[in-house]
Amino acid sequence: MPCYPVVMSSYRDLKTSVIFSANQFILRFSIYITIDLLYWRDIKQTGIVFGSFLLLLFSLTQFSVVSVVAYLALAALSATISFRIYKSVLQAVQKTDEGHPFKAYLELEITLSQEQIQKYTDCLQLYVNSTLKELRRLFLVQDLVDSLKFAVLMWLLTYVGALFNGLTLLLMAVVSMFTLPVVYVKHQAQIDQYLGLVRTHINAVVANKKQEELAKQHERFVRALNQTMREKSQAAIYINDTCARISSEREDVEIQRKHVQETKEQIAKQWAEYLLRKQQLTTQIDEFKKICELATKETFKKKEELEKLRNRMTKIKQTVSISTVVLSDHNLEIAQLQSSIKEWEEKVDEVTNACKILENKIDCESSAVVPHFNVIQLGSQPMENLAEKLHKVNLENKELQEKMHAILQQYRIVLTEEDQVFLQKRKLHDEYVSTHDSFVNQHAIVTGKETEEELMDTLPHLHLAEEEYTIKNRRLQELCSSLTAQKQEETLLNNYISHVTWDFSRYVENMERVKEELKQARDQESQKVKEHFEILKNLENEVYLHDQKADLLLLENKRLKEYISYLRNNTEEYRAGQDFLRHNSSDLSWKLIAQHVLYCCEGEMAFYATIAATVPSYKCKLSGHSIKSSHSEQ
């Protein structure tokens, strides 16, 4: 199993390589077939192909594309249907079973694989992308020369389109494809000869044009030299002026740089002061923050304690409410019993108090009478005041006596009522005793035991109830004392919380003041920093402008130097060209002299030959002269 993917991958690689080699073989085979067709190596096959192409193009010139396709399809269908009918008739006559006549062609696999489609689409994509890029380059004038050439070609194609139709151009292209290669193969030597003559003529014309262009360039160079010499003198003057300007501007730039350094030092000092102030403020802020944090922690602790106390208060209140409910039940029972007793005791106390007051007043009046008489005898006070006072005292005494009589009457009435109630109770008690005695007589032994047992059972419950009542009273007293203590603690805590909140508010106010001061200081520092930065920016811009001016001047100086060097090179080339022309002219003059000498020698030789033909004694002279002429030629 682990070897399966490796085998599959190798199989796929082998399959792709086989397909690629098959495609290459098909392409090469198709190229060879097209070459054979174009060079008429198989005349029958090329004639069929050429004739079919011509017939199709001529039919397209006469009819539309749809009609031509329809006629061709009908012709093919008529041929195949007639052939199928003919074969089926032959099979029926000969009684053979050969099957479908186009079985071999039907079984052929003509489907394109996905890889082939991908390959052809990739090729088509490459061609389309390249054509689109080229058209974009031409239409958007990336290269002016290429776009102008393309414009000229399109202009020529307008004339071609006006002269010829597209189908005629296709006909001409097909005819030239099938005729020009054969003509070139048959008349290759003559065509190459004529092409060579044309090339030589073109080269000669081009050489003449080049010579004319060189002469024009020579004139231009001479004129340019004169202009450059003039410009050189002007440039030298301008360079001197620019150097003076550059020196003055450099001095200004140095002064500005010094000023910038001074401003930077001032900014650094202010920045250091700002940092120190900032550190101080940060330390103060940290201290205030710590104090605030401690205060907040203390407040949170106090809040937690208050919440605990409140929880305890709620619990105590719940217990007190429960105990008060229980006590109220007991107190109601006791109050109902004691209310009647208190009423009678109050009435008795009032009567006794009234009696005591009357006795005291009587004693006071009796004691006050003796000194009054003594005063009268002495004549210290008037008698009228004493009479009025005695009259008032008598009136009050009468009122008190009346009240005493009324209270005594009420007391007697109450006593009579109590006697009546007591008598009623005695009657009820007697009745109860009589009924009880009768009942006891009836159920003497049983009821006595049961009542004793019930009383014995109820006695411990009564003792427990009394003990619980005493315990609850003690708890009530303790709770009341604890409530008072907690109320005092609550008041103390409220006072402490108010003090803490006041301190906290004061700290917060101080914090807000400090924050406002910090904001003001930061705003002032930011404004100062902005002003310094603006000054620095202005200085930097000025320095940058001066640097740009200096760079521009240096660039102009470099350009002038390069132009001067270019002019020097041109002058040197011109001088070298003049020297070369002089050398060539001297060589040509020497050649002319040599040719003239040869021409003279040849004339003399001809003269001596004629003489030698007439007179044989001149042969030796002729031979010597020929040797001299050969030496001269050398």
Q: What is the pLDDT of residues 537-585, one digit of tens each?
A: 777 777 777 777 777 877 877 887 787 888 888 878 877 877 777 777 6
The rounded distance, in Å, linking the Cα atoms of 601 and 442 is 208
Domain count, the chain: 1
Task: Tell me, yes or no, whether 426 lies in a domain.
Answer: yes
Question: From residue 333, how far is each of 320, 449, 461, 465, 477 by CA, in Å?
Answer: 20, 30, 17, 14, 20
Between these two residues, 343 and 564, which has the higher pLDDT value?
564
**pLDDT surpassing 80 at residue 82:** yes
Lowest mean pLDDT among 117-121, 232-236, 608-612: 608-612
Cα separations in angstroms, 296 against 159, 492, 588: 99, 19, 116
The arithmetic mean of pLDDT across residues 162-187, rounded, is 82
How far apart (Å, rounded) are the C-alpha atoms in residues 298 and 500?
9
In this structure, what token pair is assigned to residue 74?
């009908």
Give the lowest-confidence range in 98-112, 538-552, 588-602, 606-620: 606-620
> Which of 73-77, 222-226, 242-246, 419-423 is modeled with the greatest confidence?
73-77
What's the rounded Cα separation, in Å, for the pair 295 and 500? 8
| Helix %, strand %, coil % of the chain (to 5) | 95, 0, 5
Considering the chain, what percentage of its residues have pLDDT values greater than 90?
Answer: 2
Residue 330 lies in a domain: yes
Could you please report the per-residue DSSP string of 353-402? HHHHHHHHHHHHHHHHHHHHHHHHHHT-S-HHHHHHHHHHHHHHHHHHHH
Mean per-residue pLDDT, 527-541: 76
Mean pLDDT of the chain: 73
CA distances to 33, 90, 98, 114 from 85, rounded to whole Å, are 34, 9, 13, 37
Neighbours of 442 (CB within 10 A): 9
The two three-digit tokens of residue 49, written as one number: 């192909």
User: What digits encode the pLDDT tens for the residues 138-156?
Assistant: 899 888 888 888 999 999 9
* 3-class state of residue 3 by DSSP: coil
Dihedral sign, CA of 529, 532, 538, 543? Answer: negative
Between CA 325 and CA 317 the distance in angstroms is 12
| pLDDT at residue 615 in the model | 45
Tokens of residue 209, six digits: 């044009």
pLDDT digits (tens, 9 = 90+) for 9-46: 444 454 455 444 545 555 565 676 777 777 787 788 88
Domain enclosing residue 481, as ranges? 269-525
**φ, ψ at 164 (rounded to 5°):** -125, 155
Q: What is the CA radius of gyration of the chain?
A: 74
Cα of 284 vs its chain's centroid, Å: 39
Nearest to 508 by CA among 299, 303, 278, 304: 299
The answer to whether residue 485 is domain-embedded is: yes
Q: What is the pLDDT of residues 398-417, one digit of tens each?
A: 777 777 677 777 767 766 77
pTM: 0.30
For residue 360, being part of any structural domain is answered with yes
State the Cα–Cα distance between residues 229 and 505, nearest whole angstrom: 91
Structural domain contains residue 565 = no
How confident is the model at residue 130, as a pLDDT? 92
Q: Are 414 and 347 in contact (CB under 8 A)?
A: yes
The CB density around residue 224, as the number of other CB atoms within 10 Å, is 17
Separation CA 354–CA 403 (nearest Å): 8
Could you count the other beta carbons within 10 Å of the beta carbon of residue 228?
19
How far lies 610's CA from each of 279, 600, 605, 606, 614, in Å?
129, 16, 9, 6, 7
Q: What are the φ/ψ torsions at residue 77 (nearest 5 degrees)? A: -65, -40
387 pLDDT higher than 80: no
| Spatial separation of the C-alpha atoms in residues 495 and 492, rounded to whole Å | 5
Place of tokens 């067709």: 37
Is pLDDT above 70 for 534? yes
Measured distance CA(501)–CA(490) in Å, rounded:
16
| Region 301-329 average pLDDT | 73
| Res. 131 pLDDT band, cuts 50 70 90 | very high
Output the DSSP codes for 106-118: HHS--PPPHHHHH
In angstroms, rounded to a whole number, what is the distance separating the alpha carbons of residues 45 and 248? 92
Residue type, 104: A
Residue 56 lies in a domain: no
Residue 86 near residue 92 (C-beta atoms within 8 A): no
Buried b (16+ CB within 10 A) or exposed e, 331-355: eeeeeeeeeeeeeeeeeeeebeeee
Q: Which long-range contacts (CB under 8 A, 24 or more apart) does 585-588 make?
A: none
Q: Is residue 320 part of a domain?
A: yes
Q: Is residue 31 part of a domain?
A: no
More confident residue, 609 or 114: 114
Helix (H) or strand (E) run with residue 96 in it? none
Minimal CA–CA distance to 395: which of 352, 363, 361, 351? 361
Three-class secondary structure assignment of 124-188: HHHHHHHHHHHHHHHHCCCCHHHHHHHHHHHHHHHHHHHHCCHHHHHHHHHHHHHHHHHHHHHCH
| Look-up of token digits 């008072």 | 484
Q: What angle do CA 523, 528, 529 make, to 5 degrees?
A: 95
SS (H, E, C) 195-224: HHHHHHHHHHHHHHHHHHHHHHHHHHHHHH
